[in-house]
Structure 1
Amino acid sequence: MDLLLGIDMGTGSTKGVLVDAAGTVIASETVAHAVNLPRPGWAEVDAEGLWWREVCEIAARLTAQMPTGGVLAAMCVSGVGPCLVLCDADLRPLRPAILYGIDTRATAEIASLTQEFGEDAILDRAGTLLSSQAVGPKLEWVYRHEPEVFAGAAGWYGSNSYIAAKLTGEYVMDHHTASQCDPLYATRDFEWNQPWARRICRDLPLPRLVWPSEVVGTVHAEAAAATGVPVGTPVVAGTVDAYSEAFSVGVRHPGDQMLMYGSTMFLVQIIDAYHSDPTLWTTAGIEHGSLALAAGTSTAGSLIGWLQTVTGGAPFDELMAEASRVPPGSEGLLVLPYFAGERTPVFDPQARGVLAGLTLRHGRGHLFRAAYEGISFGIRQILERFDDAHTGTRTVAVGGGLRSPVWAQAVSDITGRVQEVPEQAIGASYGDALLAAIGVGLVPPETDWTKIEREIKPNPETRALYDDLYATWCELYPATKEQVHRLSR
């Protein structure tokens, strides 16, 4: 029996699955962890002490559970991203990995590089304006603030390409991850943007570009001893975890969308032609020559968790029952969910939460429903920008937030979209296993293991109400921006 090993290094845990070529899960393992927040605006991970250690632990546990006669055909690892891991010639990280958009240290570098290259030129060539999500400014930050680290580096990696190097010794980066390393990659051309990449990377070599389903090498003896994975096992490149998760649930064709309900919202849509929008991220996709749009909010489930804490910590089911009894529209209460600033589409780290229309008759249930509705209005705002590139034809919903029926229904009612919920939404590690199977030719490239369990359909009776409230919600941010910025200072 041919088996595939998929491992994903997420923000809160590392997860792994062992599956067969039909997509049946044989075994799964999870190890919880936390990121390090050493200073305000910094978010880091010990790449060797946490990521590599947990990959070794998960791989050893899963290979020990292989059934008799089972053969490990390939493995693939994804991870949070885009990240920056700087290593010496012996693949030793020289400092903790700098994480994706939640690490905002490179604000000055974002401004200086934007001025140097030009905002319009960056949008045209990279497809995405520079923000805290971009890797280029973080490389520049290390060069300016930790010159000894930069001088000692022999290579730079994302989370998954660092693990691929540890397993195989190969220095590679997948096209999708590279396309989030703005402004180093020319997304329209699927190639490094050589002049800008050389300017920022200086003497650092650029990794060899591969597609996420390509075999990059095989497991060498040292890695085999650490992981339990047999020597010579093919290693497939993998990619950023959100995109691997989208791939795992069949989001692969132009117009396909994924909504990921989590601590934040992350949205992906496949497009059929290059399209850049200053409020979105344009990236290379998973499959060869494909393109995608992405967007991410700064809060979602994290806002609900905060509300649960500050209102007394009542059980989640009790709070959902209260929110369910509140009519759509929360009786005139609107929430701007910018409690941690906002990424897409306003890209404003100084944005803050706003409650508008609050009265003495509003209770705890109103606050929860209005928060869910505010998050959902933000999703509608993003999806409308997606439609400018390619009308959404199919929306797949994944993530832990789906256990809130109030939230999921509010999204469909406010956006007007039917959401498909997969029977098995394991996450990115499942997509990694599928990429591994495709990479070694065990299954055809078009293979999709997804089975849809149910649909969440919009309620037409709430459409007019939500259209009206949405118009007012869209006015809240520009109307309060100046005052909120003064308060945030």
Structure 2
Amino acid sequence: MSTASDVILGLDVGTTAAKASLFSLDGVLRLTVGVEYPMLNPAPGWHVQDPDTIAAGVLDALREAVSRVDAGRIIGISVSTAMHGLIGLDADRRPVTELLTWADSRAWLQAEALNEHATGPRLHYTSGTPTHPMSPMVKLRWFGEHHPDILRRTAHWTGLKDWLLAVLTGRVVTELSTASGSGLLDMEARAWNDEAIELTGIRPDQLPPILDTTDVLPLSAEAAARIGLPAGLPVVVGAGDGPLGNLGTGAMEPGKAGLSIGTSGAVRMVVRNPAVVSGLFCYALTRDVWVAGGAVSNGGMVQRWLTETYAPGADDAEAARRAAHVPPGADGLVMIPYLVAERASLWDAEIRGAFLHVRQAHTPDHFIRAGIEGVAFQLWTILRRLRMINRVEEIRATGGVFRSQVWRDVVAGVLNRPLTVTAAEAGTGLGAAILGATALGVVPDLEAGYRLLRGDAVETHVEVSDATRAVYEEMHYRVPQLLQRFGRLGSDLR
């Protein structure tokens, strides 16, 4: 039986860092340890990572977090990871490929070929995952065309979550949330889609069994020794970072959208049954709770690039403070922020980024401000499509960029909705812990878990001036036209 001093460990494994967060059931302990690792770009459009480097980072983060508390208080680990990755494992559960991340766009020709016919849209509406180079299903088609020998002889085709579950538990499995982001799922059946499997050229036995996100596996003796926890400790298989972001921010009701900005970014809204709208995804949180929305590839990575390019020697916080002195609208400068292959809402992997309407009077600070606004307008295009499902009345946001006042002001102004910034950087880790508490029977449901574990987390409500709102209202008409014209130009120039 659990006590108020018990602790749940929420593991959030993202694109550039693993974060192990401790949450006590009395709401007092809230501690996060992070370990970073690189994303590699060995060829144009290739964005990969070394699975062993990620695993080492995860184990280090877990070990450091465990060392900060009495290990006997920890009642379980619950796992969240970035979605859409692809790793091949051999029969001994060892990687035979790199991790092809969500940002990897090498399979754009395969995606384009599927979308030229009804097959691509049909797979989207069946799986919930747009037929795009990010999709593991499309990545598998790339392997089939370029490395058919690897495709055939690889024992297990898995995602990032599945690889880390293998590291922690010694089992090769997946769960419904990760499967729903693979392009290989039949959402209605909650099972692998035979048509998608046939299109990839793999065998059904190369895909792992699908568990529920609340299923529990025992921590292996090997991993336990590395972390400093007892073997057999419950490991809740958990869900993808996107759906868990909604849970961690409390965006679990109709009309409330969850917004997260990490390396990438997304806007999502909870639906009770799978619902697919053109240009959006639909992924599982549990068997009975799904999230619909869209993801942009270019989120916080844009801020990092802007800082390195236009404020060398400064950090991101200082660069953002400089941008705050530039008026809303950046004096006409507009950034199309496609530094890597973009996803929602154009889903065109080959369009490149650009600055438009550049004038001599624009300073480096204008470029930084325009980049932040460019990310916000990409998120706004997703919000427009979400209205086809339900009107969005409030946005609850999480992510490190929201430590910056200019990011808060710009996002609130562009999206033109009440914006509440919640739980700073712990939103997804908190979501994992809430799902874990539910799976372990600590609380009866997700809502009770949110009330228990969020504790006294600070929420910041962002107010936007009428003048700022007026500038962005005018840009709501101008920027989409620029995006469409630039999109056609990008297509013509390919």
Fold similarity call, TM over 0.5? yes
Moved more, 9-18 or 424-433: 424-433
* Inter-partner Cα distance in structure 1 for 2:301 and 2:223: 37
Partner of 1:63: 66
SS at 1:78 equivalent: strand
1:59 touches 1:229 (CA, 8 Å); kept in 2?
A: no
Using the TM superposition, give the Cα deviation of residue 322 of structure 1 relative to its aligned residue in structure 2, in angstroms. 4.4
- Tell me which amino acid in the other structure corresponds to 1:265: G
Structure 1 residues 472 and 229, CA, compared in 2 at 3 Å: closer, same or farther?
same
Q: Matched residues in 1 for 2:235 and 2:268: separation?
A: 25
Q: Give the corresponding residue for 2:377.
A: 377
How far residue 203 of structure 1 moved from its aligned partner, in angstroms, is 4.7
Partner letter of residue 343 of structure 1?
R
Secondary structure at 1:480 match in 2: helix
Structure 1 distance, partners of 2:267, 2:154, is 34
Deviations 1:205-246 (A, max 9, x none): 43222232221x212333323333212211111222233333
- Which residue does 1:309 correspond to in 2? 308
Structure 2: gaps (5+ residues):
none
**1:53 counterpart = 2:52:** no
Q: Which residue of 1 aligns with 2:437?
A: 437
Q: Which residue of 2 is the match for residue 21 of structure 1?
A: 25
Measure the CA separation in 1 of the matches of 2:66 and 2:152.
Answer: 39
**1:185-334 matched pairs, under 5 angstroms:** 185-200=185-200, 201-215=202-216, 217-284=217-284, 286-313=285-312, 315=314, 319-334=319-334
1:365/1:210 CA distance change after superposition, 3 Å: same
Quick one: distance in 1 between partners of 2:484 and 2:425?
Answer: 37
State the SS of the aligned residue for 2:139: helix
The within-5 A match list for 1:176-187 is: 176-182=177-183, 184-187=184-187
Separation in 1, partners of 2:272, 2:303: 35
Q: Return the TM-score normalized by structure 2.
A: 0.89
Q: Structure 1 residues 373 and 65, CA, compared in 2 at 3 Å: closer, same or farther?
A: closer
Larger deviation, residues 124-133 vs 412-421: 124-133
Alpha-carbon distance between aligned partners in 1 of 2:325 and 2:73, rounded to the nearest angstrom: 53
Asked whether the equivalents of residues 36 and 45 of structure 1 are also in contact (C-alpha less than 8 Å), the reply is yes
What is the match of residue 481 of structure 1? 487
Q: Is the 8 A contact 2:399 2:424 kept in 1?
A: no
What per-residue deviation string (whole Å, max 9, x for no partner) do you get for residues 166-204 of structure 1? 33333321111111111x111234332234335533253
Give 3-state SS (helix, strand or coil) of 2:76's partner: strand
Contact 2:83 2:241 in 1 (8 A): yes
* Pairwise CA distance, 1:67: 2.2
Measured in 2, the distance between the counterparts of 1:295 and 1:85 equals 23
Which whole-Å CA distance do the structure 1 matches of 2:462 and 2:381 have between them? 19
Cα 1:432–1:481 change in 2 (3 A) is closer
Q: Cα distance 1:382–1:16, how it changes in 2: closer, same or farther (>3 A)?
A: same
Q: Are the aligned partners of 2:15 and 2:263 in contact in 1 as well (CA < 8 Å)? A: no
SS of 1:345's partner is coil
| Residue in structure 1 matched with residue 389 of structure 2 by the alignment | 389
Query: How far has the Cα of 1:385 moved from its partner?
Result: 0.6
Runs of 4+ in 1 over 6 A off after TM superposition: none
Residue type at the aligned position of 1:15: K
C-alpha contact (below 8 Å) 2:10/2:21 kept by paired residues: yes
CA, structure 1 residues 171+117, in 2 after alignment: closer, same or farther (shift >3 Å)?
farther
State how far apart, in whole Å, the 2-side matches of 1:94 and 1:258 are.
36
DSSP-derived class of the 2:406 partner? helix
Partner AA of 2:146 in structure 1 = H
Q: Paired residue for 1:38? A: 42
Alpha-carbon shift at residue 64 of structure 1 (Å): 3.3
Structure 1: which amino acid aligns with 2:174? M
Change (3 A) 1:414 1:442: same
Distance in 2 of aligned mates of 1:118 and 1:270: 27
SS of alignment partner, residue 383 of structure 1 = helix
Aligned mate of 2:86, from 72, 84, 91: 84
TM-score, structure 1 length as denominator?
0.90
Question: Kindly, what percent of the aligned residue pairs are identical?
Answer: 27
The aligned amino acid for 2:411 is V
Equivalenced residue count is 482
Tell whether the 8 Å contact from 2:214 to 2:438 is kept in structure 1 after alignment.
yes
Q: Which residue of 2 aligns with 1:110?
A: 111
- Is 1:142–2:143 an aligned residue pair? yes
SS in 2 for 1:165: helix
RMSD in angstroms over aligned alpha carbons? 2.6
> Could you list the per-position Cα deviations for residues 133-154 of structure 1 after superposition, in whole angstroms to 9, with x for gaps in the alignment?
2111212222333333333322
Query: What is the Cα deviation at residue 40 of structure 1?
Result: 1.8
Q: CA deviation at 1:352?
A: 2.9
Partner of 1:466: 472
Kept after mapping to 2: 8 A contact 1:17/1:25? no
Q: How far did residue 112 of structure 1 move?
A: 4.2
CA distance in 2, matches of 1:3, 1:140: 43
Distance apart, 1:118 and its partner CA: 1.7
Structure-1 separation of matches of 2:162 and 2:136: 14
